Amino acid sequence: DTEVTQTPKHLVMGMTNKKSLKCEQHMGHRAMYWYKQKAKKPPELMFVYSYEKLSINESVPSRFSPECPNSSLLNLHLHALQPEDSALYLCASIRVAGGDEQFFGPGTRLTVL
Amino acid sequence: KQEVTQIPAALSVPEGENLVLNCSFTDSAIYNLQWFRQDPGKGLTSLLLIQSSQREQTSGRLNASLDKSSGRSTLYIAASQPGDSATYLCAVSSNDYKLSFGAGTTVTVRA
């Protein structure tokens, strides 16, 4: 199984809503990532969890709150988002740090009204 | 800071022609280089991973070369098909966790 899954596929939310994005992998990977991708741009790194601990936060606003409950699961909690946060949110994982192939999920298309 | 550049930004070829996509990076101290394919609105699919000690990798019609000293990689796609139409991204790993992405080359293969 070389798959990273993400739910939901699409999400529409208002600026006062609270929602969560979910990512799962069952490849035994120990590092998991959240990226944000705007149209016609490459992915931008948001967060990295390594061995279930937050190791990188790329100065992301606090309205995005990551959580890694276990080694297979990564969540991104959303609250009080802005319309400019509308984007494709991608999850990725690697076996261990350094030198490994990174696998991406299909993404969640988020629209903030 | 690692800078990754992909040329050309867009490419349109007739079916059957070979594709050549270029990627350059500024810092040769890399762990690996990865080529991805992305269809519109979808996630990234890993095509090839080249470790820093390797010169090339092949998978089916795809071949990627790496010249670390000159900071270049080239992705060759033989005998292109309309199904190869997508955006191709190269990404370089220069430390334990982060990938530096190029802006991508958008390929259209005309039937």
Residue in chain B lying closest to A54 (CA): B97
Distance from CA of B104 to the nearest CA of A (A): 7
Checking if the pLDDT of B70 tops 90, the result is yes
Q: Say if the Cβ atoms of B43 and A45 lie within 8 Å.
A: no
Integer Cα distance of A57 and B60 in angstroms = 38
| pLDDT the model gives residue A98 | 58
Tell whether A103 lies on the interface with B, counting CB pairs under 8 A.
yes
pLDDT digits (tens, 9 = 90+) for B21-42: 999 999 999 999 999 999 999 9
DSSP readout, chain B? ---EEEE-SEEEEETT--EEEEEEES----SEEEEEEE-TTS-EEEEEEEETT-SEEEETTEEEEEETTTTEEEEEESS--GGG-EEEEEEEE-SSS-EEE---EEEEEE-
State mean pLDDT over A53-59.
92
Distance from CA of B24 to the nearest CA of A (A): 15
Checking if the pLDDT of B11 tops 80, the result is yes
Integer Cα distance of A31 and B94 in angstroms = 16
Neighbours of A58 (CB within 10 A): 13
**Arithmetic mean of pLDDT over chain B:** 95
| pLDDT the model gives residue A1 | 62
pLDDT digits (tens, 9 = 90+) for A2-42: 699 999 999 999 999 999 999 999 999 999 999 999 999 99
